[in-house]
C-alpha cells in the first residue's frame, strides 16, 4: 500500500514536468512551428490592428530562432519589411539572470513610421545589423557588447508641423542601464534630416569606420 502511494505521488509530481518537456521539444518540430507562426501572426494582427505576416519561423536546438520575410502593414502603408532575423542565445546563463548572445543578425529591412510618431516621420533601409554580446546582467542592469556591425543603412528623418505642444513628463522614472561597447564597425551608413516644407535639409554619410571601447549610461531623470 505504501509503495502504491509513493508511486502515485511520484507520477503526480513528474507528470507536469514531463508535459512541459514534451511541449518544449514539440517547438522544434516543423509542423508545430508552422502552426505557431500562424497563431502568432493572427494574434499580433488582432492585438495591434495591423496586418502582420511572416513566411517562416524556425527554432533550432538549443535556442536559435530564425524569422523570414516579416511584413507589417497599416492602412496600406508598409511599416516594416524584414528579410530575415537570426537570434542565437545560450540557454543555461538565462537561469542565472544573464544573457549570452552568440549572434543577433538582421538583414534586408525597410521601415516607415508613417504617422505613428507624432511630429516626425522616420524612413529608411537597413542592409545588415549584427552584434555579439557576452555579458548582459539583468540584475545589475549592465550589458557588454563585444562586437557590433552596421552596413548599407540609410535613415531619413522628416520633421512635421505640430501646433499642439507636447505635455512635459514630470514623473521620476529611472532606467540606469550601463552599456559597454568593445568594437563597432560601420560601412556605408547615412543619415539625413529634413524640416517641414523642404526648407532645411542636413545629412551625413559614413563610408567606413571602426570604433573601439565605448561606454554609455542610459538614465532618465525627472524634468524640472
What predicted TM-score, i.e. pTM, was given to this entire model? 0.77
Is pLDDT at 179 greater than 70 in this prediction? Answer: yes
Per-residue model confidence (pLDDT) at position 46: 93
Residues 6+ apart with CB under 8 A from 17: none
Domain membership of residue 169 (yes or no) is: no
Q: Give me the residues paired with residue 134 across strands.
A: 100
Q: Does residue 90 contact residue 63 with C-beta atoms inside 8 Å?
A: yes
Helices assigned H by DSSP within 29-173:
30-48
Domain presence at residue 168: no
**39 with 111, same domain?**
no
Residues 136 and 200 in one domain: yes
Q: Are 135 and 194 contained in the same domain?
A: yes
Task: Indicate the helix (H) or strand (E) that contains 187.
Answer: strand 177-194
In total, the chain counts a number of residues equal to 224
Which domain-ending residue is among 49, 67, 85?
A: 49
Confidence of residue 175 (pLDDT cuts 50, 70, 90): low
Q: Give the pLDDT band (50/70/90) at residue 223.
A: very low
Average pLDDT estimate for 144-168: 80
180 and 157 belong to one structural domain? yes
Q: Are residues 29 and 99 both part of a single domain?
A: no
Residue 73: other Cβ atoms inside 10 A? 15
How many structural domains compose the chain?
2
Same domain, 68 and 2: no
Asked whether residue 187 carries a pLDDT value surpassing 90, the answer given is: yes
Residues of the domain holding 10? 1-49
Query: Does 171 fall in a domain?
Result: no
Domain boundary at 49, 67, 88, which? 49
Amino acid at each position: 500500500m505504501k509503495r502504491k502511494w509513493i508511486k502515485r505521488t511520484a507520477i503526480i509530481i513528474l507528470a507536469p514536468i514531463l508535459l512541459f518537456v514534451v511541449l518544449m521539444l514539440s517547438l522544434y518540430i516543423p509542423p508545430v512551428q508552422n502552426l505557431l507562426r500562424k497563431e502568432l501572426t493572427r494574434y499580433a494582427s488582432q492585438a495591434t490592428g495591423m496586418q502582420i505576416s511572416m513566411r517562416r519561423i524556425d527554432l533550432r536546438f538549443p535556442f536559435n530562432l530564425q524569422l523570414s520575410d516579416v511584413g507589417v502593414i497599416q492602412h496600406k502603408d508598409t511599416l516594416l519589411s524584414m528579410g530575415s532575423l537570426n537570434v542565437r542565445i545560450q540557454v543555461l546563463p538565462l537561469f542565472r539572470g544573464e544573457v549570452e548572445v552568440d549572434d543577433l543578425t538582421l538583414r534586408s529591412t525597410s521601415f516607415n513610421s508613417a504617422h505613428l510618431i507624432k511630429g516626425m516621420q522616420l524612413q529608411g533601409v537597413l542592409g545588415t545589423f549584427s552584434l555579439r554580446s557576452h555579458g548582459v546582467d539583468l540584475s545589475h542592469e549592465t550589458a557588454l557588447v563585444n562586437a557590433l556591425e552596421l552596413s548599407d543603412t540609410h535613415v531619413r528623418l522628416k520633421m512635421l508641423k505640430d501646433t499642439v505642444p507636447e505635455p512635459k513628463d514630470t514623473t521620476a522614472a529611472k532606467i540606469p542601464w550601463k552599456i559597454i561597447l568593445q568594437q563597432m564597425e560601420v560601412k556605408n551608413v547615412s543619415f539625413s534630416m529634413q524640416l517641414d516644407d523642404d526648407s532645411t535639409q542636413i545629412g551625413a554619410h559614413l563610408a567606413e569606420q571602426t570604433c573601439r571601447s565605448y561606454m554609455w549610461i542610459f538614465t532618465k531623470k525627472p524634468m524640472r
